[in-house]
C-alpha cells in the first residue's frame, strides 16, 4: 500500500492544485438567494466556490476556495456598466495581478454565443465558442449547451451542460490545455462566467 493511499480523499484533492485538474464538474445552486456556483474534481471533492454579489450595476464575481469564503482566489469584474460587447477582467485576488479578460462578441452572440479570450494587455489569444444546435437553443431553452475553448486555433477544452429539468450541472474538460501559454485559471473563470450569464438569461 502506497503512502498516498493512507491520505484521506479530501487531503489528496487539496494536495493537487485546482488548476491542474483536467476534468471538473460544475453545479449551480438553484434555490440559493445569491447566485451561487460550485466546481468539484472528478472524485466529487470541492475545488471552487463562487458567489455573485447582488444589486451591483456591474457584475462582480468572487471565486473562493470554499463556502466559508475565507480564501478568495479570483475576481471577475465587468469593466463597464453599459457595454453590450461586455468585457470582464479576471484578476488574481492575492496579488491583484490581471490574468486576462473575457469579451463577449456583441451582436453575433444572438445566433451563436462567442467570447474572446484576452491576455493581460487585452490582446485576443483565443475564444470560447458555442457549438452544437446553438440557434435552436435560442427557442428551446431546455436544450443543453456546449462551448469549445480555442487557443491558437486549436481546441484545448470544452464546457458541456447536462440536460436536467430541475438542476444545473456541467462538465469541463481541459486535458488538451497542457503546454499552452494561457493561464489555465482563465478556463475556470470562463466556466463560472458562463454559468453566471446563463443564470441571468434564464430569469428573463
For residue 118, what pLDDT is reported? Answer: 95
Question: Of 120, 103, 84, 83, nearest to 190 (Cα)?
Answer: 103
> Using 50, 70 and 90 to split pLDDT, how confident is the model at 132?
confident
First to last CA, the chain: 54
Q: What is the mean pLDDT of residues 160-189?
A: 86
Confidence of residue 170 (pLDDT cuts 50, 70, 90): very high
- With a pLDDT cut of 90, the percent of the chain lying above it is 41
Residue 189: its pLDDT value, please?
Answer: 94
CA angle 31, 73, 80 (to 5 degrees): 75
Judged by average pLDDT, the poorest of 1-5, 62-66, 153-157, 165-169 is 1-5
For 76-107, b/e burial (b = at least 16 CB within 10 A) is: bbbeeeeeeebbbbbbeeeeeebbbbbbbbee
Q: Is the pLDDT of residue 10 over 80?
A: no
Determine the pLDDT at residue 16: 65
Query: Quick check: 96 pLDDT over 60?
Result: yes
pLDDT of the residue at 34: 72
pLDDT tier at 57, thresholds 50, 70, 90: low
Q: Which CATH architecture has domain 3-202?
A: Beta Barrel (2.40)
Domain definitions of the chain by residue range: 3-202
Average pLDDT estimate for 47-75: 83
Residue 87 reports pLDDT greater than 70? yes
Task: Give residue 11's pLDDT.
Answer: 42
The residue-averaged pLDDT of 43-60 equals: 78
Amino acid at each position: 500500500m502506497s503512502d498516498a493511499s493512507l491520505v484521506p480523499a479530501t487531503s489528496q484533492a487539496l494536495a493537487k492544485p485546482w488548476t491542474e485538474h483536467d476534468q471538473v464538474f460544475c453545479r449551480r445552486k438553484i434555490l440559493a438567494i445569491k447566485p451561487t456556483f460550485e466546481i468539484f474534481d472528478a472524485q466529487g471533492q470541492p475545488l471552487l466556490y463562487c458567489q455573485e454579489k447582488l444589486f451591483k450595476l456591474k457584475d462582480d464575481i468572487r471565486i473562493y476556495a470554499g463556502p466559508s469564503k475565507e480564501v478568495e482566489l479570483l475576481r471577475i469584474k465587468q469593466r463597464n456598466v453599459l457595454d453590450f460587447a461586455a468585457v470582464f477582467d479576471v484578476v488574481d485576488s492575492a496579488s491583484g495581478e490581471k490574468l486576462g479578460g473575457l469579451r463577449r462578441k456583441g451582436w453575433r452572440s444572438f445566433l451563436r454565443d462567442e467570447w474572446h479570450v484576452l491576455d493581460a494587455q487585452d490582446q485576443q489569444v483565443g475564444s470560447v465558442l458555442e457549438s452544437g444546435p446553438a440557434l435552436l437553443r435560442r427557442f428551446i431553452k431546455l436544450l443543453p449547451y456546449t462551448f469549445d475553448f480555442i487557443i491558437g486555433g486549436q481546441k484545448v477544452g470544452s464546457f458541456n451542460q447536462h440536460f436536467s429539468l430541475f438542476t444545473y450541472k456541467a462538465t469541463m474538460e481541459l486535458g488538451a490545455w497542457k503546454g499552452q501559454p494561457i493561464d489555465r485559471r482563465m478556463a475556470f473563470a470562463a466556466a463560472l462566467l458562463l454559468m453566471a450569464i446563463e443564470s441571468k438569461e434564464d430569469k428573463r
